[in-house]
Amino acid sequence: MLAFNMCNAQWQQTSLDTTYIMTLVMKGNDIYAGTYFNGVYVSSNNGYTWVNKSSGLPNNAIWSFIINDSNILAASEGSGMFLSTNNGNNWNTINNGIPSNTMVWASTNNGNNIFIGTNSLGVFLTTNNGANWIHRGLTMPDQENNYIQSLVFKDNKIYAGTGNGVYSSTDNGLNWTYQNNGFPVNYVVYSFIVSGNNIFAGMNGSGVYISTDNGNSWFASGLTSGYIYALAKYDNIIFAGGSSGVFYSTDNGSNWIMMNQGLLNTQVSALLICGKDIYTGTFNGGIWKRSLLELSVLQESSNSNNIYPNPATSNLTLNLQLQTSLQNTIVSIYDVQGKLLLLQTITEPQTELNIASFSKGIYVVKVNNDKNSMVSKFVKE
């Protein structure tokens, strides 16, 4: 299910405003952007200005980054892998063990074990920041779909998103298992994100799929269409970016809210969460920025003192003393699956809500009126 968030907050374009952005990553206080034609840009001031740092890099696309301690590894389209040990000021080729002209489209790491996925040669592993690479198989028989588009670790298991679904390995890539139960046939897996026990997969043309059992089975989320090139998370909130802009879900993918206000280019290729901000990279539209605090669901930290006690047992007090108006104020309480459990009109600045019948767990409180909105969470014991 999709919904449209009608808040007044909007995306703001950064000074990197016309470039094809392929990937975004954070290192310390710096944001690194891999582009399609112009190498790497770095911002040290939250996107206000950008500096090109591409000395030693080719002009082809930079698809992904790995940050490993002080090292930055960059995956390129057609020139293999590159390493910078000085925050991107210089880059050196690190292709020992990788055939020449290899297209590297994906990367991930589990500590010092760094994996890359290629267009036709499967997966490679390095344990020494690219000094040498070892082939780890996964060269698939279907020549039209034998590329690795995405990689992710969950616990000590690695998942590879390909042009033919998902493969996984529990022994650092020595052996791979096909885990495509529930996926549509011949759909590319462009992106992954892990949140708790769930794995989210961004697809080409069919939105987001979810696995709750370590990849043994998959099912469609509430976002069932569009190309999803990027996934990110903040706390328990999942963000998806793709051919129709940016969406977010607060209920593990059952429902999604579009958040495209002000985003003039909705062809989204990359997402990055930095503190309380979200950045999106676009096709030929540069990088855009938005405060997460503008989303009502993320304002709970500033509203946490408005409900008490927390945890609660039988009654919950709602304190709206600071609200300038209580006209048309409604409070609603939802469980974590998004089911509405209580809907009540508020006329007094302090109101007691009866939650005695609620099961133990986490609940979301939403308060709305003509002028204000508030979202908080509480625990029922």
- DSSP 8-state symbol, 79: S
Query: What is the mean predicted confidence (pLDDT) over 191-214?
Result: 95
Asked whether the predicted pLDDT for residue 8 surpasses 50, the reply is: no
Question: Rounded mean pLDDT of 12-29?
Answer: 92
Residue 297: count of CB within 10 angstroms of its CB: 18
Question: What is the tally of helices (H) and strands (E) in the chain?
Answer: 1, 36
108 three-class SS: strand
From residue 108, give the alpha-carbon distance in Å to each of 7, 116, 221: 36, 7, 24
Span 170-198, average pLDDT: 92
pTM of the model: 0.77
Per-residue model confidence (pLDDT) at position 108: 94
> For residue 119, what pLDDT is reported?
87
Token match 């022994």: residue? 171
195 is written with which tokens?
């949140």
Adjacent-strand bridge partners of 173: none
The answer to whether the CB of 317 falls within 8 A of the CB of 256 is: no
The full DSSP string for 127-180 is SSTTSS-EE-----S-TTS--EEEEEEETTEEEEEETTEEEEESSTTSS-EE--
pLDDT of residue 100: 85
Beta strands at 21-27 and 30-35: parallel, antiparallel or unpaired: antiparallel
C-alpha to C-alpha distance for 209 and 191, rounded to whole angstroms: 10
CATH 2.130.10.10 segments of the chain: 2-295
What gap in Å lies between CA 258 and CA 317, rounded to an integer?
Answer: 32
The pLDDT tens digits of the residues spanning 108-133 come to 999 999 999 998 899 999 999 999 99
pLDDT at 161 over 90: yes
* Residue 301: predicted pLDDT: 40
At 4 the pLDDT is 33
pLDDT digits (tens, 9 = 90+) for 208-251: 999 999 999 999 999 998 999 999 998 888 999 999 999 999 88
2-295 belongs to which homologous superfamily? Answer: YVTN repeat-like/Quinoprotein amine dehydrogenase (2.130.10.10)
Pairing label, strands 256-258, 2-4: parallel
What's the mean pLDDT in 198-206?
95
Q: Classify domain 300-380 by CATH number.
A: 2.60.40.3080
Give residue 6's pLDDT band: very low, low, confident or very high (50, 70, 90).
very low
Give tens-digit pLDDT for 68-109.
989 999 999 989 999 999 999 999 999 999 998 889 999 999
Q: Which two tokens stand for residue 126?
A: 């390095």
Mean pLDDT (whole number) for 344-370? 84
Mean pLDDT, range 377-381, rounded to an integer: 84
The predicted model gives 58-65 an average pLDDT of: 89
pLDDT at 141: 58
Residues of the chain with CATH 2.60.40.3080: 300-380
Q: Does residue 52 surpass a pLDDT of 70?
A: yes
What percent of the chain has a predicted confidence (pLDDT) above 70? 89
pLDDT score at 92: 96
pLDDT of residue 295: 67
DSSP state of 53: -
Task: Say whether 337 sits in a helix, a strand or coil.
Answer: coil
Q: What is the mean pLDDT of the chain?
A: 87
Contacts of residue 92, Cβ cutoff 8 Å, sequence gap at least 6: 56, 82, 83, 84
Quick: pLDDT tens for 298-350. 544 444 557 888 888 999 988 876 555 667 788 888 876 667 889 888 888 88
pLDDT of residue 240: 97
Torsion angle (degrees, nearest 10) of CA 174, 179, 185, 190: -70
